Amino acid sequence: MKHLTVVEHPLVQHKLTLMREKDTSTASFRKLLREISLLLAYEVTRELPVTTKQIETPLCAMEAPTIEGKKLALVSILRAGNGLLDGILELIPAARVGFVGLYRDEETLEPVQYYFKVPKNLEDRTVIAVDPMLATGNSSVAAIDLLKQAGAKNIIFLCLLASPEGVKRMEEAHPDVPIITASLDEKLNEKGYIVPGLGDAGDRMFGTK
């Protein structure tokens, strides 16, 4: 898989535009995020290994394709990751789910872990880490570090928007982790927001400020 894939599907781009608009309501934002996450889930699972199994249709026996290996692990990077997670789980209901919670230390500006719970046998699963915004890349890199420490070997990072700075940081720290995003935006501003972006993803999906 390429290191960076931008999903340029017209439906994804159309929904993303609606999400970016500042007057889009919390309810619409949430609904659009769910819809877009289904489309991104289709893309992120495109290269999963497939095997076959013997089944019987009402007409005959056949060797039919089925996804190989252990159930996928979806890992939400809290809290905004949960918005992407919900939609993906609708499409992959048997996936195992983990959570990584990180906050930024006000003094060192480094991400600090406050929660970490992931499925067993991570080393045998494809792990899809989800966070809508790849901004500075600090929390994404730290979350992937933790997943690798927990044994994950095959990780894909899924986000809605990425900044060039975040992509570069991920590429340097985790060149083996492909990134799938709906848009590579222009830049980060001085406060670490993605520009043009969509604002604070967590605030917009949960209606907080």
User: From the annotation, which residues make up the binding site?
Assistant: 79, 104, 131-139, 194, 199-201
φ and ψ at 32, to 5 degrees?
Answer: -65, -40
Q: Cis omega before residue 196 (within 30°)?
A: yes
Of 169-198, binders to ligand URA (CB under 6 A) are 192-194, 197
- Burial of 99-137, coded b for 16+ CB within 10 Å and e otherwise, reads bbbbeeeeeeeebeeeebebbeebeebbbbbbbbbbbbb
Q: How far is the CB of 193 from ligand URA (least distance, A)?
A: 4
Give the residues across from 171 on adjacent strands. none
In the annotation, is 17 catalytic? no
In the annotation, is 145 catalytic? no
Is residue 166 within the footprint of ligand URA (CB under 6 A)? no
Q: How far is the CB of 153 from ligand URA (least distance, A)?
A: 28
Structure tokens at 192: 């670490």
The smaller minimum CB distance to ligand URA, of residues 42 and 99, is found at 99
Q: How far is the CB of 136 from ligand URA (least distance, A)?
A: 8
In the annotation, is 208 catalytic? no
Of 7-66, binders to ligand URA (CB under 6 A) are none
Catalytic site residue from 24, 86, 104, 145: 104
Is residue 86 within the footprint of ligand URA (CB under 6 A)? no
CA–CA distance, 74 with 141 (Å, rounded to integer): 16
Binding region for ligand URA (CB under 6 A) out of 84-92, 122-130, 140-148, 199-207: 199-207
Q: Cα dist. 158→37, 55, 118 in Å?
A: 9, 33, 17
End-to-end CA distance of the chain: 37
Q: How far is the CB of 15 from ligand URA (least distance, A)?
A: 17
Q: Cis omega before residue 79 (within 30°)?
A: yes
CA–CA distance, 201 with 182 (Å, rounded to integer): 14
In the annotation, is 104 catalytic? yes
Is residue 78 within the footprint of ligand URA (CB under 6 A)? no
Is residue 200 within the footprint of ligand URA (CB under 6 A)? yes
The smaller minimum CB distance to ligand URA, of residues 80 and 156, is found at 80
**Binding stretches for ligand URA (CB under 6 A):** 80, 133, 135, 192-194, 197, 200-202
